[in-house]
Amino acid sequence: MHPLAQFRYCPKCGGTDFRIINEKARRCEACDFTYYFNPSAAVACLVTDKMRNVLISVRGKEPAINTYDLPGGFIDLNETAEEGMARELLEETGIHYSRGINEGIASPLKYLFSLPNIYPYSGFEVHTLDMFFHLEVETVMPYVGEGQDDVAELVAVPMSQLHPEDFGLESIRHAVEMILAGHYF
């Protein structure tokens, strides 16, 4: 299905003659406005400690409720990827990170790689570009327990015991596979 199939009306004039012109665009025949459908930016973070434990979030909401995830989410307007990652870390885990090395933070936030993704939300496929980061903390143990925001629980899992199939979202699962294969971390 075309990514814009659910868009039937022009967002500029409300016209109904809003035609698909290519794989990522529709044009309104009434006002000649062309809408280009681009991915939303999202972030996720592999949080590890010196003992190679990984801080895993258990999803508290759909999609993929009760499956493993990495802390993260959508970037807000006027945020950089790093600012969005720092905000998501605070909201979901309580980790307070700013651009420097803070108390309890062993190394600065490091960008790893990105993956395209389709995030199902309320019956709508949100195309995203997921940017993955790594943050090393002294220990993940202070953050383990009840989750915050849309996270049901935070757990510590040794890196050697991570199983990609436990992660419910495709891009996160793929990222964990890449990390375990030693490609980026």
Residue 11, pLDDT > 70, answer: yes
Residue 62, pLDDT > 70, answer: yes
Residue 102, pLDDT > 70, answer: no
What was the pLDDT predicted at 149? 92
Average pLDDT, the chain: 93
Q: How many whole angstroms separate alpha carbon 154 and alpha carbon 129? A: 24
Among the residue ranges 17-21, 58-62, 101-105, the one predicted with the least confidence is: 101-105
Among the residue ranges 16-25, 75-84, 169-178, the one predicted with the least confidence is: 16-25
pLDDT in tens, 110-128: 999 999 999 988 888 889 9
Residues 16 and 8 sit within 8 Å (Cβ to Cβ)? yes
Q: Of 145, 178, 173, 180, whose CA–CA distance to 58 is shortest?
A: 145
- pLDDT band of residue 1 (cuts 50, 70, 90) is low
The pTM for the full model equals 0.90
Residues 99 and 89 sit within 8 Å (Cβ to Cβ)? no
Tokens of 27: 């044009």
Section 18-30 average pLDDT: 93
Provide the 3-class DSSP secondary structure of residue 141: helix
Percentage of the chain exceeding pLDDT 70: 96
What was the pLDDT predicted at 23? 85
Q: Of 9, 10, 5, whose CA–CA distance to 20 is shortest?
A: 5
Give the ranges where 7-54 is alpha helix by DSSP (H): none
